[in-house]
Amino acid sequence: MDLFSRKDSPLRLSRSVVGQQEAEAVTRIIMEDGYLGMGAEVQRFEAELAGYLGVPAEHVTCVNTGTSALHLAVQATVPAGAEVLVQSVTYVASFQAIRATGAVPVACEVLPDTVTIDLADAERRLTPRTKAIMPVHYAGYPGDLDAVYAFARKHNLRVIEDAAHAFGGTYHGKRIGSMGDVVCFSFDGIKNITCGEGGAIISNDPAVNAAVKDARLLGVERDTEKRFAGQRSWNFDVKEQGWRYHMSNLMAAIGRVQLRRLPEEFIPARKRLFALYYELLAGIDGVELLKTNQDETVAHIMAVRITDGRRDRLRSLLDSEGLTTGLHYRPNHLHTLFGGGSQSLPVSEQLEHELLTLPLHPALSEDDVRAVCGRIAAFMRENR
């Protein structure tokens, strides 16, 4: 394959992998069901998600975005003014969701080899106001969840897993979302499965499930039951702050198709391409691969570290040749809203200049991966 043939047709960093099946599902809702809002299709999707994860259907609550899922999960578990420990290297959604509840995100360091939360650093940031920890499953890898939950038990904290990158993955043989305190997924356009936009909260805590189900529908008590029956609540009470965060039937219809495609199509493709990247990039001077568990991780992004100061030059070259790259993520403690760099997190700040995300999605070919890796190897060899 000509390494430079992508100039006129850039290789996508990520993309939605949807087609005729999803189009037919949406058409069915429009032409046959006729109700586009939250109704029986959402109920069916929740039940199928529960079946996939191996949990009761009442443990699953679908919402309109992954950020909404995080927002409602925090609102249901910690009081306003409480502090939530969260790694700085994550998408800004994690921090915004915490702040939206009136809680305070406390930026923590990450482990440089996994980009998951550094519990030793988190422990130093504990105060009497700390009520939760939000581990982020960076690139799909959850890190040491056993240690996270031991830390939470020791300090009497709730655990809200930001598993936006991790749907379909496992931990010690159990599907992420099938165990734990509160787990939040994202189903936006480029995630491991998509609803166009969407998210889900999974919990075995009945109080959390009741709270998030009401809160996604503006706090209208038990409105979920009415919606699933094709009815509306007219005479109701509202006791808690709610939001218009429910999932629509249109979104759920797409999600149901995507969930069926996940085991036989999406997971094998992501694992195969991810493994190929690791094979081809191993041993290249200046390229450091993140530690992960390839058997259990369904990678959402392919992030590597360029450790010799050439990251930006390499990125510019790849992008100019149509081999699109990304940066996941700017540390949140550097954003003006979250301190503007008043706090020092040296590892996170170093990673800001090293992390580079390479194309990864099920529509990518092995030749595409070889082209990217070949160009990286040539650049690193020629620009010592």
pLDDT number for residue 247: 98
Residue 137 CA to residue 32 CA, distance in Å, equals: 39
Question: First and final CA of the chain: distance in angstroms?
Answer: 25
Residues 354 and 246 both lie in one domain = no
In this structure, what is the dihedral angle of CA atoms 221, 224, 227, 228, given to the nearest 10 degrees?
Answer: -150
CATH of the domain at 273: 3.90.1150.10
The whole-model pTM stands at 0.96
Number of domains comprising the chain: 2
| Cis bond upstream, residue 329 (ω within 30) | yes
Residue 340 CA to residue 327 CA, distance in Å, equals: 19
Residues 196 and 345 both lie in one domain = no
**98-149: per-residue pLDDT in tens?**
999 999 999 999 999 999 999 999 999 999 999 999 999 999 999 999 999 9
The mean per-residue pLDDT over the stretch 346-366 comes to: 98
Residues 81 and 33 both lie in one domain = yes
Residue 156, classified by CB atoms within 10 Å of its CB into exposed (0-12), middle (13-18) or buried (19+), is exposed
By residue range, what is the domain housing residue 289?
A: 263-382
**265-294: per-residue pLDDT in tens?**
999 999 999 999 999 999 999 999 999 999
Residues 206 and 324 both lie in one domain = no
CATH of the domain at 155: 3.40.640.10
Residues 142 and 175 both lie in one domain = yes
Residue 250 CA to residue 262 CA, distance in Å, equals: 19
Helices then strands, counting H and E runs in the chain, come out as: 13, 12
Residues 326 and 212 both lie in one domain = no
